[in-house]
Amino acid sequence: MIATCTTLIDKRKCAGHNHAVSRHFTCARYLFSHFIDLSLASASRPHGPQTSDAFSEWTANMKKTWIDLLYELPVDATLREFLTGHGLLMPDDFAWTDKPETTQALIAALLGCPDIAVRDTVAAKLRASVTLGDSAGTQAMFQVATGNGAALTTLATCKSDIHRSFWLYVKHPELFDRAGDVDHFERQSANAQQHDLGVKTILDTSDTALAALRADVSAFYQRELQCGDRSKAYVMERSPGVFLLSVHVKDLSTVQLEFQGDDLKRRVGNPNIHSVLEYSARTGVTRSLVKGGTKYHQMLLKTFAEHLLHTSLDAQRLMAPTLDLSALRLGFDVPQAQVDGFNVLQVKSISLMSPDNQLKVDCTAMAASEHRCVTDLLAEKLPGPLAENWMVTAAQINLYYPPEPGKARAKMVTIEITRKGRLNLHKFDAALQAQLEGYLVALGILSKGQTLNPQDMATSDTSNLQPAYED
């Protein structure tokens, strides 16, 4: 991965404010931040396995107003192209220099623009353009740009993650959309269903194969939901032998009450139903994100196998794998982990289901427990579920290394696992992934040689990026 460059300096700190701009900025930031605080509780929040730092970075970007973003972006040819291309008229002798006063003049011009549609369009597209402006989004952008040397070079020279995201949005909108799909999949990967198809081969990504896949997907949605008469699909190779299929389906029309300039209007539109499937030719394993439940996952798997793998799947292959997590009732008893350097092995949290499936209990060991296993605490304080052999449906296991000299905080590795076969091991490098899989084999949770994840993602070659096709 190419190293990122230094972060931009906020140009508001380098010069005095225009007071009219400052008042508008303060009011807009207050209103927008309150709206975002509410919306973060909805499905717009990324739910995948992320560190707190990564989520904080994403949240901070989503709270920024268009004025915030203009202050962070450099005044360069790309910004000039974006603003003038959306109708902002500046004097012929206007100096497009990267200075604080230039940014303030541009903001003042947008606020004073007699055409409200110009400001609304700029504001909306500025916010849309920086959705990849964090470390996770940057990885996705570099990944999809690998097959485009010029784009890759420019991305490496951009001044910040937000600048990178904005530049790709303006200059290469198709690559931006592809990176958005990759970023969406990675953020939501903890919710993906995983299947071992038992087929290890390179995909057929021809126009004919993708058209047949889209036809079957559209027919399914028309039959089930009376929508889907239009669809788009493409395949990209994320890394050697690891493919990502992205399918967009036209949903039922809806009515939105929105402002257009000064007028409040009802708009009719069709939301997008987005499904993603990742396939490893090395392992034959898929991970899929599909809205709607088991039937919809199985539909995508069947059509994917039939048209891109040219095989049919038996019913067993379409069943989500289930794992026996009962060994975790006794904690994480794996001597090899201590041989490998971990000095504390903790079952941090556990989910238990009653035999009649009427009650589920989620328990977590708090910091005051001093790294004791949650199962030990349950045996002392709430022995019923363990004594009555309630089913273990999910667990989080924390493995701690000894603290480094001079540091109080120990490095930790976290394993997240569910009975339905969801594992977070794909987030680790290949060596650590194999090591952690070995621990699960020792406990009898995985079989020897079994893997529920494709190989670890590396920077990919996307030279065979396929175009999107429309019915």
Is residue 256 within 8 Å of 243, Cβ to Cβ?
no
351 beta partners = 362, 394
The answer to whether residues 320 and 195 touch, using CB atoms and an 8 Å cutoff, is yes
pLDDT at position 318 over 90: no
Question: 358-402, pLDDT tens digit by residue?
Answer: 999 999 999 999 899 999 999 999 999 999 999 999 999 999 999
Which residue, 220, 196, 217, is CA-closest to 287?
Answer: 196
Half-sphere exposure of 85 (CA within 13 A, CB side): 10
The pLDDT confidence band at residue 452, using thresholds 50, 70 and 90, is low
Q: How far is CA 132 from CA 24, 32, 143, 287, in A?
A: 26, 19, 13, 22
Task: List CB contacts of 84: < 8 A, sequence separation 6 or more.
Answer: 90
Contacts of 27 (CB under 8 A, 6+ apart): none
* pLDDT score for 461: 37
Of 2-11, 105-114, 206-215, least confident by mean pLDDT is: 2-11
Residues whose CB falls within 8 Å of the CB of residue 287, separated by 6 or more in sequence, listed in order: 189, 192, 193, 194, 277, 278, 426, 453, 454
Task: For residues 241 and 19, give the distance between their C-alpha atoms in angstroms, rounded to a whole number.
Answer: 56
Nearest to 15 by CA among 59, 75, 62: 75
Give which of 389, 377, 319 is closest to 348, Cα–Cα. 377
Q: Which residues contact 273 (CB under 8 A, 6 or more apart)?
A: 221, 227, 228, 248, 249, 250, 251, 291
d(CA 7, CA 162): 9
Of the chain, the percentage scoring pLDDT greater than 90 comes to 58
Which residues are CB-contacts of 284 (< 8 A; sequence separation ≥ 6)?
Answer: 196, 197, 198, 199, 200
Distance CA 75, CA 11 (A): 11
Buried b or exposed e, range 380-409, using 16+ CB within 10 angstroms: eeeeebbeeebbbbbbbbbbbeeeeeeeee
Mean of pLDDT over the chain: 82
Please report which helix (H) or strand (E) contains residue 385, including its range.
helix 384-387
Q: For residue 116, give both structure tokens.
A: 């409200």
The DSSP line for 216-259 is HHHHHHHHHHS--SSEEEEEEEEETTEEEEEEEEE---EEEEEE
Closest listed residue to residue 80, CA positions, set 101, 103, 61: 103
| Predicted model pTM | 0.66
On whether the CB atoms of residues 426 and 415 are closer than 8 A, the answer is: no
pLDDT at 222: 96
pLDDT tens for residues 34-88? 333 323 333 333 333 344 455 566 667 777 899 999 999 999 999 999 999 999 9
Beta strand 263-269 pairing with 231-239: unpaired
pLDDT band for position 433 (50/70/90)?
confident
458/48 Cα distance (integer angstroms): 19
How far apart CA 319 and CA 1 sit, in angstroms, is 37
